Chain A
Amino acid sequence: MTIHKDFLQHHSRSTDTVVAAVADNCRFDERAGVARWQRFDDLLAEVTAGADGIQWQDWSETNRLHLERYYNVSSLNLPDAFLDINKDAWLDDLSDNQSVVRIEALTQPLQTSGLLLEDLDGLLQQADNGVSDALRVVQIFFDTWNQRRDARPAFVAFYDEVKQEADDVDWPHALRDRLGLGHYGLAGGAPLAVALMRYPLAEVFSAHREGSAACAMPTVLDNGMHEFFFPVPREHPYGATVHLSPDSADTLTAELVHCRIDYQREHLWRLGWIRDPRRLTDEQLREARDLHLITLQVECGREHFGEFLEGRL
């Protein structure tokens, strides 16, 4: 990280733990290269107005703009994560016979197809039992879903590493917590229909475009400016999720991002609901991030990587 050190240093001392966490993510990231940060800085210059210098809102606005330009790109384009500009974070040596999992929110796909989650569940069962009309509905459900998906990087974890949570009866919450998906489930919010996707990496490798990467390590510039992301030291082979349960914050789960693939029936493994939020107090969040950091330091032999929140104020 090479830009605006003082600004980030200042905000890393914020009493708002989320702000401090995001500033830390920017300070600690060792994978997003100079060119990617330069893009961010160019946008920041456009956003920042007046003589007061950069405000935190400017940073946050720039993050949104940066994501919209270079991360949430349309299906006709490729996000920065898989382009040369991010070569330092590419993951080239993955074995293609490993299965990965991810959680997908189904609100829009279901609505687009005029289905409820229960309808889809029933149709999937019928289709799997050979009912041909149901099979067609399911195929068209996937066609329609794919029509509406852009090319943003997909965060995944290795199935064999999270098998316990993925196989759990209450997999939506167990996996949500393990993968650090704090944005799924708001207190008092609407329940969220979700799907558990599972597929071999071979599918990803066969879908990726020549001249680009299929997989990469997630960096802070890949939608990592939030409290449940934590950059890893350069020595770490993958990203590492922040467990939403403070007691388990020393569990590092490998994560990576891969390029867009078209979903098919065999990719959809399970359906479920996320109804319960996972809320952490400021204190819990600080403790969890510090515990996560210690584990990273130990795993990578980098005792000076990052900085603890404890004692900072």
Chain B
Amino acid sequence: MIDRWFEAFRGDPEQAVADLFSGRAGVASSLRLDVPDLLYQAFPQHLASERAELDKALLSWLLDMRGHYPVQVKRLGFPVYGKRIGDALIALQVLDLPEARHQIRADIDTWLRWLLPLRLAPERDPALECFRLLTRGQPDTGHTAMWLRLATDPRPEYLTVSLAGLRLLPNQHNAQANQTLMLQALLRHAVQICHEVGAAHTFFNRHFAALRGHYPRGPQYWDRILTGALDGFVVHTKEHITREQLASELVDVLRSGVVTKPQHSKRTQTPTPAPASQEQWAGLKAEILNSSHQPETLARRLFELLEQNHVYAEATGISHFFVRTLHNLGSSLLEHHKLGQAEMVRFGVMIERALVWEPANFYCWMLWADWFRAQGHRDAHESTLREILRLFPNDLHARVELGRLLIRRGEYYWDEAGYWLQQAMDRDPGNEHSRVAMARLLVLRDRPGDAKALLVEFLEKEPESLKAREFLDRMRSGLQYASDDDTSDAGRENEVPATTDGGHSSVPPPAALTELFRRGRLGGEFSRARIAKAQGGVAPTDLIREETRRGDPLAGFYSQWLMLNSTPECPPHAWAWNACRYWQESASPDSWKQLAAQFPEAAMETDFLHILAVSHEYNQSGVAAWRTRYNPDVDAASPAAAFMGDTMGRIAAISPHERDEIAVAVLACAATGAPEFALEQSV
């Protein structure tokens, strides 16, 4: 029977592959195998041209399944659909087929967005199979950050893939770099999953021993690798590890076990890259602020430091120096100097690199927003601000920025501008920027009296607010009170850059930028629809509907929130979409527990929503338990954790309306991660 199928494959590979997955290829002993095992046997290495055809046919089949998502899901159901997708990805792994892998790597964010919600179980996780596929044939070290990030996922199978990815990084015959990174991954995972140092130590030692078993070397060699990994981990810990105390204790315990002193034998030691020195950093900082050097010269020097720090990050997993240098010196450079186009393009690449390493770094996101604004990319600027608001629900600055931008976009956007500005005013009553922007909006809406009243009231409380005073004075003297920067551009076409090079090229925008725009449009639709609904009206939700039909987890959550009864069944692993249903149905405590177990990576958010849902029956011990378990008050807590922690502090006083606002923020934040960048170098 397999011979007959192979004959069919030679005639029409795509149809044959489709028949194999659907089962229409027949019933026979050889076909009782899972597809990957069957293909592995049927396409040995020497069948090079057939394997190339299979490579193309599998990719084509995957794209077809993605393109026909709604139909296929309806016909097969999520479990079967997900299994077949996973099998195709496993087949690409076991046969080591390069072309499809290359295509997937180049567009990883789009693939993951489709695959992540399809997870059913540890062994039925198409996104994990996709990651596993990318561990093989890595062209460079561009995925280092991604592998280290996977290690912080509490699920053991994610650690497995993280370690495989780091093990298979190209290393120019220097396996030490890989081993150091693998130990970094183990340390990060250990403090993520363990609550006390004994357990973390046991976990680490078990895996460390396995690593030594894989790479038999003398104890001095491993002591040196461990010492290097611990040094890096200490730097990483302060910025990124919530359980800093545990991390510190673990480092101490492990250091005490290093029996040999690090040796500096030229024969055995490969030089480790170092980050730029503090002196270099401080010198450049001073020159950016004070010198009359050409911007190009300053930019060139900054890029040199960044490149050095990036090499260090890729070798050690420590992104601290690269990212801090970028957002600190980079922000200053952007603020104080006007860079040429070539420098701006390179600057943009650096920001994207930084977001690869630290996708939840607020300063990098703000730098990106500033960069888009400086480039005149208004759509991208708006989308970035919306994504900042989704990822960092506590942030006020982006609310004001977005409010200002929406004012400029014209009357259609003014309700939403008012919505964001009002939120900023409510959350920080002493902030003058939100008041002034709101006053401008009121003036534009022919409500100068309200604008004056707003500022007068504000100035009574904050008499030193210069901008508010200046604006009020101008209003009173009848001068133009909306600056050029803030006048409406209604009716003007807003530019959508084709690339990050300033829109001068016809090259399509990179996948991450496309995704940023998509999220921006979705977020805009959602906000406007909510505002319209609250006012008893309706706003278009075409994109949300379309993307929901394709199983997009963010759009699905938006749809579920807005259109309770007309949203399709959610995929098995779309947390926010699922949790939104629980929220709307006032789910029982057992149901919330079940949800937390189903999504261990979102247990903090699930438990938070459960407490928030019953906040009218304030439960002090529940709040305390949540705080103890998730530790949201430390510096390294994620933005979402910090937001939830703040909310918990005043949960008994939250109104039903605000409760909904908070739930939306938490759900949207965890609906999907930051975009997964596929930088050119890693394609």
Taking beta carbons and an 8 Å cutoff, which residues of A are in contact with B?
A: 18-19, 22, 46, 57, 59-65, 68-69, 72-76, 105, 107-108, 111-112, 114, 123, 126, 131-137, 139-140, 143-144, 147-150, 182-183, 185-190, 192, 223, 225-228
Contacts and interface: CB of A to CB of B under 8 A. Distances in A.
Nearest to B157: A147
Interface string B611-647: 0000000000000000000000000000000000000
Given A61-B22, A74-B79, A137 B214 contact: yes
B91 to A, nearest CB: 10
Given A57-B24, A107-B40, A133 B160 contact: no
B32 A68 contact: no
B23 interface: yes
A189 B121 contact: no
Contacts of A123: 213
B572 to A, nearest CB: 10
B456 interface: no
B469 interface: no
B210 A137 contact: yes
A133 B157 contact: no
B77 A69 contact: yes
Interface stretch (B42-50, B341-349, B444-452): B42-50
Given A111-B94, A136-B210, A182 B79 contact: no
Q: Which of B25, B121, B132 has the most CB of A within 10 A?
A: B121
B42 A147 contact: no
Nearest to A64: B23
Given A114-B167, A136-B206, A148-B123, 18 more contacts: A18-B26, A18-B28, A18-B29, A68-B79, A68-B84, A69-B80, A75-B122, A75-B124, A111-B93, A111-B94, A112-B132, A114-B214, A132-B209, A140-B207, A144-B160, A187-B3, A189-B44, A225-B27
B683 interface: no
Q: Which of B2, B24, B45, B213 has the most CB of A within 10 A?
A: B213
Q: Which 9 A-B pairs have the closest CB atoms?
A: A64-B23, A137-B213, A133-B213, A182-B29, A136-B209, A74-B121, A190-B44, A136-B210, A189-B41
B37 interface: yes
B534 interface: no
A182 B27 contact: no
B160 A112 contact: yes
A76 B30 contact: no
B212 A186 contact: no
A114 B28 contact: no
B75 interface: yes
Contact of B22 (A64, A132, A150): A64
A108 B167 contact: no
A125 to B, nearest CB: 12
Contacts of A143: 156
Given A60-B24, A72-B83, A136-B213, A107 B94 contact: yes
Contacts of B31: 183, 226
A63 B30 contact: no
Nearest to A226: B29
A60 B25 contact: yes
B210 A139 contact: yes
Nearest to A185: B41
B123 A140 contact: no
Contact of A105 (B3, B37, B83, B206): B37
Contacts of A63: 23, 27
A61 B23 contact: yes
A190 B45 contact: yes
B1 interface: yes
B124 A139 contact: no
26 contacts: A19-B27, A59-B27, A60-B23, A60-B26, A61-B23, A64-B22, A64-B23, A65-B80, A69-B79, A69-B80, A74-B121, A74-B124, A75-B121, A75-B122, A114-B164, A132-B209, A133-B210, A133-B212, A137-B209, A137-B210, A137-B214, A139-B210, A140-B206, A186-B30, A186-B42, A192-B41
Contacts of B156: 143, 147
Interface in B76-116: 76-77, 79-80, 83-84, 90, 93-94
Nearest to B25: A60
A189 B22 CA distance: 23
B34 interface: yes
Contacts of B80: 65, 68-69
B37 A107 contact: yes
A225 B32 CA distance: 8
Contacts of B22: 61, 64
A183 B214 CA distance: 32
B92 to A, nearest CB: 12
A126 B212 CA distance: 13
A62 B23 contact: yes
Contacts of B3: 187
Interface string B37-64: 1101111110000000000000000000
Contacts of A76: 120-121
A152 B71 CA distance: 27
B67 interface: no
Given A136-B213, A183-B29, A149 B94 contact: no
A190 B40 contact: yes
B252 to A, nearest CB: 23
B216 interface: yes
Interface in B211-228: 212-214, 216
A18 B160 CA distance: 41
Q: Which of B26, B31, B40, B94 has the most CB of A within 10 A?
A: B26
B259 interface: no
A13 to B, nearest CB: 16
Contacts of B36: 108
Contacts of A135: 209, 213
A105 B120 CA distance: 23
A28 to B, nearest CB: 15
B27 A150 contact: no
Contacts of B160: 112, 144, 147
Contact of B122 (A137, A147, A225): A147
A140 B205 CA distance: 12
Contacts of A190: 40-45
A22 B1 CA distance: 13
B479 interface: no
